[in-house]
Structure 1
Amino acid sequence: MKHSFYPKLAWTGIRKNKRLYTPYILTCMGMVMMFYIMSFLTSSALLTSMPGGDIMQGMLGLGVRVIGVFALIFLFYTNSFLTRRRKKEFGLYNILGMGKRNLARVLMWESLIIAAISLGGGLVAGIVFSKFAELGMVNILRAEGSFVLTLEPKAIVQTLLLFAVIFFLILLNTLRQIHLSNPIELLHSENTGEKPPKANWFLALAGAIILGAAYYLAVSIENPIEAMVWFFVAVIMVIIATYLLFIAGSVAICRLLQRKKAYYYKTNHFVSVSSMVYRMKRNGAGLASICILCTMVLVMMSATVCLYVGTEDSLRTRYPRNINLDVSVTTLDRLEAEPVEKVRQLASQIAREHGQSLDNVLDYRVAAMVGYIDGGRIDVDQSSIYTFQLSAYTDVWQIFFVPLEDYNRLMGQNETLDPGEVLLYTTKSNYEEDSIALGDGEPMKVKKVVPDFADNGVDAMQMIPSMYIFVPDFNKTLQPITNVANWRGDPVIELHWFYGFDLDGSDEVQVQIQEELQESLRQLSISGGTSWGGDDFTVSCEGVAKERAGFYGMYGGLFFLGILLGVVFIFAAVLIMYYKQVSEGYEDQSRFGIMQKVGMTQKDIKRSINSQILTVFFLPLLTAGVHLAFAFPLIQKILVLFSLTDLNLLILVTVCCFLIFAFFYVLVYHITSKAYFAIVSGAKGEPA
């Protein structure tokens, strides 16, 4: 044979089966494009040079690995549709005299052609769109960038190597299937459907129980730490339950529909229900995959969009004032020392030099500790925290003792407390006891749980909930534990003075004030002798303007990653939908042909098709919506750990994401249903 025979035969096979190969090649190109864009952005010199760019690139580095693994799994999965459809053709070639070695050469050339088109087209699209992606990330970081198109050789090499390996593994898998099949099996493989399975009520019931348990976990967990831990357990349970319900449960439902004669013995229902039962095992698995992908997209987009939109709120939660100073001391008397007043004077002086005044001043003392609370008692030595048990971690709190006078001054209140009484304020979780005791000390009665307090930003950095205890006698309450050490020998209590203020100047002015204040504090620390510096008096200074880039880098990176992974998962869901419709269309073509011969009209066929598609096609979307609704409380608690507490924003974003996705889903439904109808109705121009 001429050497050009195999390439021509391979190209003819691809061209004649363009209905199958075109979406597959486009998907391969899309995967190549996405992977290159992610790789390009993680090594972009422009992003590296921007404030917050390194944080964003770190986020995208995770996305590169996720897309790489997903591309391997998903392209294997979609290639199985192509292989199933082409086996009849390969069986015919085999009978006509082509050996398996010859078929292997055809398959090798097909793989080379597909790989060349996919890699070439994907890289060209990736290089073009990578600049748009880079400019999009620059915009997220609120910076400026050039419009010069650049190439990243390292990203190109990574993309070529990864997808060369993927296409090679797919080729080996296809050759394995051809090698293990005989010509007769290949010739009749397309007609080898699954036997009508029996309704497995046990698996359907197991799926319902597992799903119910996962839903119960999602709605019953109150502690954000528990929510973070159990979230992944709940995800696995939902995935298992979804597959069981779509495979076993859907068969059971079809059996029930067949028993309902008034429904089943109708033209549009009879054909569709009997067809679904015939291949429900594979059909159910495909629908479950679509449902899980839809749920992943909805959860990921809702969370990341909400985080990005709420970035400014999260930033101000972490840094409650434009400039925030944290003075750390080792003894209670140091909180009243002269350097504290010098810090106030220095901040006011530097602000005046820049034409600014200190507004909305935050000024209070606090004693902080991490404690395990059990039965209304705080474990002072902290030994219970290190038991490595989930129950211990869910009862760990960040505890702040604050003088009552500071609370009244900051909040404009006039609360009074008797000895042995306290006020309480908690975040992220609720405290149900009516008293609180410090170690073995006498319980202090919780007179009132106050609704709010001027946060210091420390709570925003912690995954654990915080408890603010406002006491009438600050020194007397803390004196018994000021010299107590934990099991590692470190002091259990940390003494701080928080001082913060707002400025009405621009970000540039605020950064200048912060830097000058930091330098002045450093000089005082060097020249001030024992009153400054050392371990007994240290000062840290942070500012919103200077930290804003880092926040937008982190949340913007998550947002951008959510968009790209969302697009990839949507590609996957659409392709599964399309191949599900096309493969089933070819299988149903002969059955509908027989129906037409015995009197079934085109109108009846279309009505039957609509009945079948509507019965199962929207089930994944509706189930994904239910999954999202039950996952909402869990998502809300996890986002609290990222300092996002705006519940109304999360509800709005989640509803909008679902509606937009549902619109897109309906659009895909119309496209794929037309393809199915064109095949089963015997439209001209279909490949043999």
Structure 2
Amino acid sequence: MLFKLSMSGLRSKFKDYIVLLAGLVMSISIFYMFETLAMNKQFLLANSMIKSIMFVFQAGSVLLSIVTFFYILYANSFLLSLRQKEFGMYMMLGARKNKIMRLMFIETIVIGLISLVIGIAVGVGLAQGIGLLLMKELDLGSEGYYAFYMPSLLITGIFFLALFVVSAILNTVKMMRVTVLQLIHAEAQTDRVVTKGKKRVFSAVLSIILLLIGYASMINMERLRENGIIIALITVTSGTYLLFITFLPLIIAGMKRNKKRTEKGLNAFTYAQLNFRVRSLTKVLATVTMLIALSAGAISAGMAFKNNVAIMVEGTSYYDLTLHNPTEQEQAILAKIPLDVQQSYHYKKNEKAIYYAKDELVKNPPRIPVFGDRKEYGKTQFPIAELPTGSEVRGDVVNEKAPSMPFEWLRAMEIVQPYFVYQDQRVIIADQKTYDRIPGEEGVALLVKSNQFESHLTEWKQLDALQRSKYRIAPDGYMSSKYSNYIASKAMSSGTEYMGFFLGIAFLAMMASCLMFKILTGAAKDTHRYEMLRKIGVRRQLLMRSMYKELFMVFLFPAAIGMVHVLIGMNIFSFILVDPYFKVWLPIAIFLMIYAVYYFITVQLYRGIVLPRQQ
């Protein structure tokens, strides 16, 4: 009989259970997707620029496990809240508490097993679809990547089974401690907010200290390396939870005490709504904050590695290409590219050496990269040292009597006379009179640059292929052109880009699931309060405005702290990337746009529950 009543109650709250199941499925699928990368050592090592990538993913697994742990505990406490009034009624009718506890335990495990099976299936599908799509977009090989990966399946299954058992035990213990009246009137109880006391002050100070230590470790990641990751993982995570537990109730209480604010419109009602479930808000919003930091941080890191390719290539080579005696076909391709710089240098070639006119080089010298610290990377300059007449660049036979060439001019001549053109032939700098008397075939070296390099990769590829054919360079042989360096750098970074975008999408989906789960699961409890305000004559427009404001604050708190985590956390890549903050506004802006769209969707779903349109 008790089982039939339980099934009847379950059917009556079917929509709430669907929301719960969807949240659990999403968290399981995201965890599985992360582990498909974290446990695949072969794929990680083959496709990452970060030497300690395995350690990074192990630390990430710990962080995701902590976040998932809190999420699952909250989700299963919601399962208890769905049925506690109903269980109280059963106990008033004579049902024994031990049977209610047993029934609750079984329900928790069954729902957990169902969500685990569906979640792993969804995770495999997402890993296959998102993974292959990103690999195609980034031109990344799929060797070593498996959407269905048995080690990650086993660790996901074991981890979540353990979590569901722990959750079931905690729900059972909670049932033992509550009275029948507490179960029946659970929905009418508010969270007790403590805003004073030594413990509160201690927690507030500790949260700030922990965050400062975590931020300092991320800023000094180049020196701390693996230790910095461990310190940041512990301090930032614990500091974030303490920050929300301590300061969020204080902020809401402060809003309620501000009479000027509370007397405007329905602000008093809005702040009361926030205050009503503030204790559950603190833990969920702290979890959402960490997911926002992980999501936006992973996307920003992936974008940073992508942008770093252009920065690295530009920093090592100012000119896009050096063409010696360009053919008609090469000139036709160059005509399709808007060139911003064209510099030409004449030379004569005979059996003895290659001769360049000193006057032409000095009058119009080529730009060379500046060598210095990271801040100077990407800057260029003209050679300022004097170019000695008769100095030589290279050659099989070293002329000890020839004056030595300054390092700056050696770098300049490597640009004008790339090694792959004439290889070991001697290159001599001659004055104009000597150059005019030298017998031999005259040629021209053309240096070109376009400010739209990445917009014309097809043309650069064609020119690169013609150069390889002209000088008989194998397709996999080294050639010092910007396009060749660009492709090599892109190949090195594409794996890390893929991991960043893949994990960013995964964490974004989990964040959306977590926050929507919190808001929509509490919507049913808010319905009667909105109905009461409607009955006493409050306009629908005012209620809508209050609703938008309440949910905006719920979305605002984690987004603000999460963005701070991301902006400081980008320092983690400062010793790998030339400029981790280059165009960082772009991925953050994209993330905030998605976050804003998700906010409006959530408001509409919430409104449909608590304030349905009258027929």
Q: TM range, normalised to the smaller chain? A: 0.5 to 0.7
Partners of 2:161 and 2:280 lie apart in 1 by: 29
Correspondence for 2:271: 273
Matched, 1:642 2:576: yes
Partners of 2:80 and 2:293 lie apart in 1 by: 28
Distance 1:451 1:171, change over 3 A: same
Correspondence for 1:187: 184
Distance 1:86 1:683, change over 3 A: farther
Correspondence for 2:437: none
Correspondence for 2:355: none
Partners of 1:589 and 1:516 lie apart in 2 by: 67
Partners of 1:414 and 1:662 lie apart in 2 by: 41
Partners of 1:301 and 1:451 lie apart in 2 by: 28
Shift of 1:642: 1.4
Correspondence for 2:459: none
CA contact (8 A) 2:112 2:164 kept: yes
CA contact (8 A) 2:297 2:504 kept: no
Distance 1:65 1:674, change over 3 A: same
Matched, 1:660 2:590: yes
CA contact (8 A) 2:305 2:493 kept: yes
Partners of 1:501 and 1:269 lie apart in 2 by: 73
Correspondence for 2:104: 107
Partners of 1:151 and 1:295 lie apart in 2 by: 27
Find 2:507's aligned residue among 564, 569, 577. Answer: 569
Tell me the alpha carbon deviations over residues 604-649 of structure 1, each in whole angstroms, 9 at most, x when there is no partner: 43333333333443343344445545x2xx62x54342143375xx
The one-letter amino acid of 2:501's match is: I
Correspondence for 1:176: 173
Distance 1:179 1:617, change over 3 A: same
Partner SS for 1:559? helix
Correspondence for 1:139: 136
CA contact (8 A) 1:298 1:657 kept: yes
Correspondence for 1:617: 555
Tell me the alpha carbon deviations over residues 360-415 of structure 1, each in whole angstroms, 9 at most, x when there is no partner: xxxxxxxxxxxxxxxxxxxxxxxxxxxxxxxxxxxxxxxxxxxxxxxx99x96999
Find 1:670's aligned residue among 583, 600, 604. Answer: 600
Larger mean Cα displacement after TM superposition, 234-243 or 75-84? 234-243
Tell me the alpha carbon deviations over residues 313-361 of structure 1, each in whole angstroms, 9 at most, x when there is no partner: 5478799999xxxxxxxxxxxxxxxxxxxxxxxxxxxxxxxxxxxxxxx
Correspondence for 2:455: none
CA contact (8 A) 2:135 2:498 kept: no
The correspondence of residues 425-436 of structure 1 with structure 2, limited to 5 A, is 425-428=371-374
Partner SS for 2:84? helix
Partner SS for 1:641? coil
CA contact (8 A) 2:217 2:232 kept: yes
Calculate the aligned-residue CA RMSD, in Å: 5.8
The one-letter amino acid of 1:639's match is: F
The correspondence of residues 98-247 of structure 1 with structure 2, limited to 5 A, is 98-136=95-133, 138-139=135-136, 142=139, 152-198=149-195, 202=201, 206=205, 225=223, 246-247=244-245
Matched, 1:560 2:513: no
Partners of 1:314 and 1:288 lie apart in 2 by: 37
Distance 1:11 1:671, change over 3 A: farther
Distance 1:271 1:154, change over 3 A: closer
Count how many residue pairs are aligned between Structure 1 and Structure 2.
Answer: 503
Matched, 1:76 2:68: no
Partner SS for 1:672? helix
CA contact (8 A) 2:573 2:580 kept: no
Partners of 2:243 and 2:68 lie apart in 1 by: 27
Distance 1:560 1:505, change over 3 A: closer
Partners of 1:21 and 1:109 lie apart in 2 by: 15
Distance 1:140 1:187, change over 3 A: same
Partner SS for 2:266? helix
Correspondence for 1:521: none
Partners of 1:178 and 1:226 lie apart in 2 by: 47
Distance 1:288 1:515, change over 3 A: closer
Partner SS for 1:166? helix
Correspondence for 1:396: none
Larger mean Cα displacement after TM superposition, 56-65 or 109-118? 56-65
CA contact (8 A) 1:83 1:174 kept: yes
Correspondence for 1:526: none
Unaligned runs of 5+ in 2: 321-360, 383-409, 422-462
The alignment's TM-score, normalised by the length of structure 1, stands at 0.57
Q: Percent identity?
A: 19
Distance 1:57 1:188, change over 3 A: same
Shift of 1:90: 2.2
Partners of 2:178 and 2:510 lie apart in 1 by: 29
Shift of 1:210: 5.2
Partners of 2:249 and 2:262 lie apart in 1 by: 14
Partners of 1:601 and 1:187 lie apart in 2 by: 32
Distance 1:133 1:320, change over 3 A: farther
Shift of 1:195: 2.7
Partners of 1:43 and 1:223 lie apart in 2 by: 24
Tell me the alpha carbon deviations over residues 160-184 of structure 1, each in whole angstroms, 9 at most, x when there is no partner: 3333333333222222222333333
Unaligned runs of 5+ in 1: 323-407, 416-423, 431-448, 455-496, 519-540
Matched, 1:31 2:27: yes
Find 1:88's aligned residue among 82, 85, 89. Answer: 85
Distance 1:545 1:659, change over 3 A: closer
Correspondence for 1:471: none
The one-letter amino acid of 2:18's match is: T
Shift of 1:269: 1.1
Tell me the alpha carbon deviations over residues 59-81 of structure 1, each in whole angstroms, 9 at most, x when there is no partner: 59646666555434432233223
